[in-house]
A and B are shown apart, each in its own frame.
Chain A
Amino acid sequence: MKKLLTGEQVVKSFGTGEEKRNVLDDVSVSIHEGEFVAVMGPSGSGKSTLLFALSGTDNVDGGRVAFDGKDLSMLGESELAELRRTQMGFVFQQPTMLKNLNILDNIVLPSMRGSRRPAGAITARARALMDRVGIAELAERDIAQVSGGQLQRAGICRALMNNPKMIFGDEPTGALNSRAAEEIMDLLSEIHAEGTTVMLVTHDAKVAARAERTLFMRDGNIVSELRLPKFDGQGLDGRIGQVTLKMREIGV
């Protein structure tokens, strides 16, 4: 498989002078096309920072990040924005919706910006995605009128609008109850099964258990990783057990 995303000796620090602290300390990682990678670790270990650094939403202080062969440090602000818009999809812990747009408009938002597709085709794709994730009837609702789980489904629709090569998720189930979380993970698994590369940051072993590879972080470094066979919808409990065991082993 071709490498889609690589981070080489990535360094990211916060603070200045004596208070300067490396949140990512010489991290190297590669993610292949079609792979499902989870990142786990205690709070402050640098998981989310790694996700933001690898997705080009935050700049790095050292090392190199490349996506699909392009060195992100060589891209300008608008090229990076275009890359995020056309090649990447994001799902965050909070729904990150614009309050003054309804659900449908929030979903079409990234596609309406600079897309050559006609508005009708964009809306049709949004409606098809909403239908697929089971929120078709919520299109005209305001975001305050739907549940957290429904909003997160809408977030996934938005992430998929431009057929991204890769989906980045930062605790996408972190603010949901267990049932809603399971439904979201089923959806992400489905998307992955269709060939989309996925990278998720999570605290939850149940989420990581769906990944083929889980990276464990501590103090700004990847300290271990667990490889599992591709998830086919069977044997989730066993996979969860393996992830939990690994966590205990390395003490994260």
Chain B
Amino acid sequence: MYYRMIRNDLSRSKLITMTTLIFVAAAAMLVSLAAMLTVNLTGAIDTLMVKAKTPHFMQMHTGELDMKRLSAFAEQNDEVDDYQVLEFLNMDGAKVTLGGQSLVDQVQDIGFSVQSKAFDYLLDLNGHAIQAEEGELYVPLTYMKDNTTRIGDTAVIGERTLTVAGFLRDSQMNSTLASSKRFLVSAKDYAELQSQGSVEYLIEFRLKNLSALGAFEAAYAAAGLEANGPAITYPLFRMINAISDGMMIGVILLVSLFVVAIALMCIRFTLLAKIEDDYREIGVMKAIGLRVQDIKRIYVAKYAVIAAAGSLLGFVLSLGFQGLLLENIRLYMGESDQASLGAVFGIIGILLVFLAIMAYVNGVLRRFRRISPAEAIRFGTAQQKVSGTGSLRLSRSGWLNTNVFLGIKDVLSRKKLYATMLAVLVISAFIMIVPQNLHATISSKDFIQYMGIGDADLRIDLRQTGHISEQAAEITDVLEADSAILNYVMLTTKSFPVKLENGSEERLKIELGDHSRFPIKYAEGVAPGADHEIALSVINAQELGVHVGDFLTVELQRKPVRLTVSGIYSDITNGGKTAKAVFADSSAEQMWCIFYAELADPAQIISKAGEYADRFPETKVSDMDEYIAQTFGSTRSSIEKASYAAMAVALIIIVLVTLLFMNMLVFKDRYEISVMKAFGFTNGDIQLQYLSRSVFILVAGVVLGTLLANTAGEKLAGAVISSFGASAFQFTPDPLFSYVLIPLLMAGLVLIATIIGTSGAGAIKISEHIKE
């Protein structure tokens, strides 16, 4: 009997059944995909880091290296399982050409290495440690992804010519968020290249027990060992590897939750419309003594079929789509050892979706208990209670069109009913505006200020040179004399010991100079203005356990000096561990120097960048747009894709939900529609009333959605941004897109869907509903 009823019911409402099925399938597919991708991503990262034997602690260092002291430290420390010092031969991008394409514009540091012997292996695409032969060059994967080069290309490094023999996975520096990229050459080629660049050391440790990492870091700092450069730990490597794809999974998960909610809403609307349609029959079934449980079973059975079919379809689709989404993970991280677990988790995901639907259908059907058989048989419709007639009076509506008035009045009288539709519009506006604003924000120049870098036109990096101060002075002279330069600043980074409250000591890299020239945005407090003030990056402030107004004891010229923390800012540079101060110091060695400059004519940026790059070959000159593009390029394009995907999903949802909602409403209102038709209202009048309802909810939805996007959405986006080192965040939206185009798109689709969804009102026969 159930089979026949379900079949009849499904064939009667093919369109609605298909719509619901599509949503269930989409929800199941997304949940399954998120589960599969999570399992694969974590598995692939684990596999990569295990195969590569990623160091647990890595200190980059430029300058002299006391190998004896380092060995003594490593041998004395019980936690050290193995250690090594690798060389990273820094090479200016101008000296590297791959397949005829120069890397001069690369912001990321380019370094050459030989394969490690003990751990931290550079792997080929099959996960094996590469042994480079003489004349071979292995290139980081990122250059394959952006089509910079191909296998077989000729690579010219300085005066040496090599052949691109393959691509490598680097468990440390795979991510574009890692500021350096390692190229692999043979030991012989490395020796030949050595004179072309400057050596930086990667001092690496593997520990016996990763949980001792914190203690080890402290011990390393306390020992006063080489630390002229950022230090990075195993968990940070893991996070950097996970961040891009992790964000994608996060977005899929969020969207899947949203689609599940929409699928439930569709079911609610269609189920309520069906109950309205069957109201009298339900009354009869109750009157002849069928238990509520038995009546529910008829309806539950239909949705069990839809939910099961949708979940299975979603699972199959997720198997099809996972390849596409796993492409990036597979490319950068390789295969996961637990790939088969992905399908298991995918099945768990669709089971959850199925169970959620069944629980929800049961919940909606609880209203059967409240149906009075007598009332249902007599009236054939639910005798809906309206929340009073309110103060709006048709007789006093004045200029307002009667149909528009009736539309608005209905929404205000049945707020609870329209709340669902409103919620969909609010959420849709939210999911369209937030990613769009996030994308516009991170595409804007202002964004860099949130990232700890001032708003300038040019950036000149002076590093890895033996005579930084002379060169800095020369650059200063040139900038000073250049009339095209409107404003510039030199910021010098030096390393100072900091005494912590527990008596231990750490080294802190402090950027010295005038921080008011190209100000950044502070999460808390302000930029340092006086000699006794210091500003810290968020990560440093967290690690040092200080807040704005606290003191920090820094050793200057071998004397402890108490500095007040004036502000805390977000930073993504140098591993996020920086500090800023204005005091003058001549004692500590300069680690690097950065110049920021603003041009009188911004149109000259590219030519000026070229001019300075030629003039100062030991520096790296970048125009800021390019710097941003290279640093955030892939993140920005991911967010852009996600924002368009979110928009497409939201618009589809708006159309389908409006269609279903209006369809349900016409079912519910068929008596009122008949009454109005009997008294001379045309189908056009009725449609205008429904359009007025839609517009009224639409306006409320867009306004609330926009407000929510700019408050909670901004906070949410801030949380996403904070995952890569920033904490203060404000949207810089594209107002035309976010506040004109999106609402117009929403309005257009809602109106079209309302017209289609209410077209059934024209077919309602007065005589069928008004009698009795």
Inter-chain CA distance A34–B531, complex, in Å, is 104
CB-based contact B413/A100 at 8 Å: yes
Measured CB to CB, the closest approach of chain A to B403, in angstroms, equals 7
Interface residues on A, range: 35 or more
Cross-chain contact of B766 among A58, A98, A109, A126 (Cβ < 8 A): A58
**Nearest-CB distance from B765 to chain A (Å)?**
6
Shortest CB distance A199–B (Å): 15
Q: How far is the CB of A113 from chain B (nearest CB, A)?
A: 5
Whether the Cβ atoms of A78 and B682 lie closer than 8 Å is yes
Pick from B397, B409, B675, B767: contact of A100, CB below 8 A.
B409
Question: Which B residues touch A196, using CB under 8 A?
Answer: none
- Interface 1/0s, chain A 216-228, versus B by CB < 8 A? 0000000000000
Q: Which residue of B lies closest to A118 (CB)?
A: B398
Q: Is A189 an interface residue (CB 8 A)?
A: no
Q: Interface digits, B679-703 against A, CB 8 Å rule (1 contact, 0 not)?
A: 1111111000000000000000000
A and B contact pairs by CB, cutoff 8 A, 20 listed: A48-B767, A52-B766, A57-B766, A58-B765, A77-B762, A78-B683, A78-B684, A82-B680, A84-B679, A93-B771, A96-B678, A98-B675, A113-B403, A113-B680, A114-B402, A119-B396, A119-B397, A123-B395, A126-B395, A142-B388
- If A100-B389, A100-B409 touch, whether A109 touches B679 (CB-CB below 8 Å) is yes
Is A29 on the interface with B (CB-CB < 8 A)? no
CA distance A77 to B763 in the complex (A): 11
Question: Which residues does chain A contribute within 8 Å of B772, judged by CB atoms?
Answer: 93-94
CA distance A119 to B409 in the complex (A): 18
- Give chain A residues whose Cβ lies under 8 Å from the Cβ of B386: 99-100
Say if the beta carbon of A236 comes within 8 Å of chain B: no
B287: Cβ under 8 A from any A Cβ: no
Question: In the complex, how many angstroms separate the beta carbon of A240 from the nearest chain B beta carbon?
Answer: 25
Q: CB distance B394 to A85 under 8 Å?
A: no
- Chain A residues with CB under 8 A of B685: 81, 113
B395 x A104 contact (CB < 8 A): yes
User: Does residue B677 face the partner (Cβ distance < 8 Å to A)?
Assistant: yes
Beta-carbon contacts under 8 Å, A73-125 to B = 77-78, 81-86, 90, 92-94, 96-102, 104-105, 108-110, 112-114, 119, 122-123
Residue A49 is within 8 A (CB to CB) of chain B in the complex: yes
Q: Which residues of A contact B388 (CB under 8 A)?
A: 142
Inter-chain contact B771/A101, CB cutoff 8 Å: no
Q: Does B770 contact A (CB under 8 A)?
A: yes
CB distance from B116 to the nearest CB of A (A): 77
Are A113 and B413 closer than 8 Å at their CB atoms? no
A24 CB, nearest partner CB in chain B, Å: 12
B contact set with A: CB distance below 8 Å: 384, 386, 388-390, 393-398, 402-403, 409-410, 413-414, 672, 675-685, 762, 765-767, 770-772
Q: B389's closest neighbor in chain A, by CB?
A: A102
Min distance, Cβ A5 to any Cβ of chain B, angstroms: 17
Asked whether A158 is an interface residue with its Cβ less than 8 Å from the other chain, the reply is yes
Chain B interface, DSSP helix/strand/loop, else mixed? helix
Docked Cα-Cα span, A92 to B674, in Å, equals: 12
Partner of A84, one of B396, B402, B680, B683: B680
Contact of B678 among A90, A113, A126 (CB under 8 A): A90
Question: In the bound complex, how far is the Cα of B677 from the Cα of A85, in angstroms?
Answer: 9
Q: Distance (Å) between the CB of B587 and the closest chain A CB?
A: 81
Question: Known: A94-B772, A100-B410, A100-B414. Contact between A85 and B679, CB under 8 A?
Answer: yes
List chain B residues, Cβ under 8 A from A158: 679
Q: Is the CB of B767 within 8 A of A101?
A: no
Q: What distance in Å separates the Cβ of A147 from its nearest Cβ neighbour in chain B?
A: 17
Q: Name the residue of chain A whose CB is nearest to the CB of B398.
A: A119
Given contacts A48-B771, A99-B386, contact A81 B681 (CB under 8 A): yes
- Structural contact, A113 and B389, CB atoms closer than 8 A: no
**A96–B675 Cα gap in the complex (Å)?**
6
Q: Is A170 an interface residue (CB 8 A)?
A: yes
Contacts of A105 in B (CB 8 A): 389, 393-395
- Residues of A contacting B684 in the complex (Cβ-Cβ under 8 angstroms): 78
Chain A residues with CB under 8 A of B413:
99-100
Question: Which residues of the other chain, A, contact B771 by a CB distance below 8 angstroms?
Answer: 48, 92-93, 170
Pairwise interchain contact B770-A96, C-beta atoms closer than 8 A = yes
Return B426 CB to nearest CB of chain A, in Å. Answer: 24
A82-B680, A142-B388 known; A102+B766 contact, CB < 8 A: no
Query: Please, which residue of chain A has its CB at the minimum distance from the CB of B679?
Result: A110
Interface positions of A from 179 to 237, Cβ below 8 Å from B: none
Q: How far is B767's CA from A84's CA once the two chains are assembled, in angstroms? A: 14
Report the 7 A-B pairs with minimum CB-CB distance, sorted nearest first. A85-B680, A100-B413, A105-B394, A110-B679, A52-B767, A58-B767, A57-B766
Majority secondary structure of chain A interface residues (helix, strand, loop or mixed): helix
Contact of B402 among A78, A94, A113, A142 (CB under 8 A): A113
CA distance A52 to B678 in the complex (A): 10
Provide the residues of chain B in CB contact with A97, threshold 8 Å. Answer: 675
Additional A-B contacts beyond A57-B767, A90-B678 (12; CB < 8 A): A52-B766, A57-B677, A77-B762, A82-B680, A85-B680, A85-B681, A94-B772, A105-B393, A119-B398, A123-B396, A126-B395, A142-B389
Cα of A96 to Cα of B674 in the assembled complex, Å: 9
State in angstroms the CA–CA spacing of A128 and B442 once bound together.
Answer: 67
Contact B677 A81 (CB under 8 A): yes
* Bound Cα distance A99, B413 (Å): 9
User: How near does chain A come to B675, taking the closest CB pair, in angstroms?
Assistant: 5
Distance in Å from the Cβ of B638 to the closest Cβ of chain A? 48
Q: How far is the CA of A114 from the CA of B679 in the complex (A)?
A: 12
Chain A positions within 8 Å of B409 at CB level: 100-101
Kindly report which residue of chain A lies nearest to residue B410, judged by CB atoms: A100
List of A residues within 8 angstroms of B395 by Cβ: 104-105, 108, 112, 119, 122-123, 126
Q: How far is the CA of A142 from the CA of B770 in the complex (A)?
A: 20
Q: What is the bound-complex CA distance between A110 and B395, given in angstroms?
A: 11
CA distance A144 to B386 in the complex (A): 10
Residue of B678, B680, B683, B772 most packed against chain A (CB within 10 A): B680
- Chain A residues, CB < 8 A from B403: 113
Residues in chain B near residue A83, CB distance under 8 A: 680
Partner of A86, one of B397, B672, B680: B680
**Alpha-carbon distance A208/B766, docked complex (angstroms):** 25
Residues of chain A contacted by B765 (CB below 8 angstroms): 58
Query: Can you name the residue of chain A whose Cβ is closest to the Cβ of B671?
Result: A96
Docked Cα-Cα span, A93 to B397, in Å, equals 29
B744 to chain A, nearest CB (A): 30
Could you say which of A90, A109, A123 has the most chain B C-beta atoms within 10 Å of its C-beta? Answer: A109
Contact (Cβ within 8 A) A81 B680: yes
Distance of A86 Cα from B682 Cα, bound (Å):
13
Contact B384 A99 (CB under 8 A): yes
Give CA–CA (A97, B672) in the complex, Å: 8
Q: How far is the CA of A102 from the CA of B765 in the complex (A)?
A: 25
The CA-CA distance from A121 to B683 in the complex, in Å, is 26
Minimal beta-carbon separation of B382 from chain A (angstroms)? 12
* Beta-carbon contact of B410 and A90 below 8 Å: no
Given contacts A105-B395, A109-B679, A119-B397, contact A92 B770 (CB under 8 A): yes
CA distance A34 to B384 in the complex (A): 40
Chain A residues in 8 Å Cβ range of B676: 98, 109
Among A78, A86, A101, A158: residue with most chain B CB under 10 A? A101
Query: Within the assembled complex, what's the spacing in Å between the Cα atoms of A49 and B771?
Result: 10
* A119-B772 Cα distance, complex, nearest whole Å: 32
**What's the least CB distance linking A156 to chain B, in Å?**
13
Question: Which chain A residues lie closer than 8 Å to B766 at the CB level?
Answer: 52, 57-58
CA distance A140 to B120 in the complex (A): 83
Q: Which residues of B contact A102 (CB under 8 A)?
A: 389, 393
B-chain residues with CB within 8 Å of residue A170 when the two chains form the complex: 771
The B-contacting residues of A in range 132-180, CB under 8 angstroms, are 142, 158, 170
In the bound complex, how far is the Cα of B409 from the Cα of A100, in angstroms?
8
- Whole-angstrom distance between the alpha carbons of A99 and B409 in the complex? 11
What separation, in Å, do the CA atoms of A58 and B394 have in the docked complex?
A: 28
- Name the distance in Å between A135's Cβ and chain B's nearest Cβ: 15
In angstroms, Cα B386 to Cα A105, docked, is: 15
Closest to B379 in A: A94
Give the complex CA separation of A83 and B678 in angstroms: 10
Residue of chain A at shortest CB distance from B685: A113
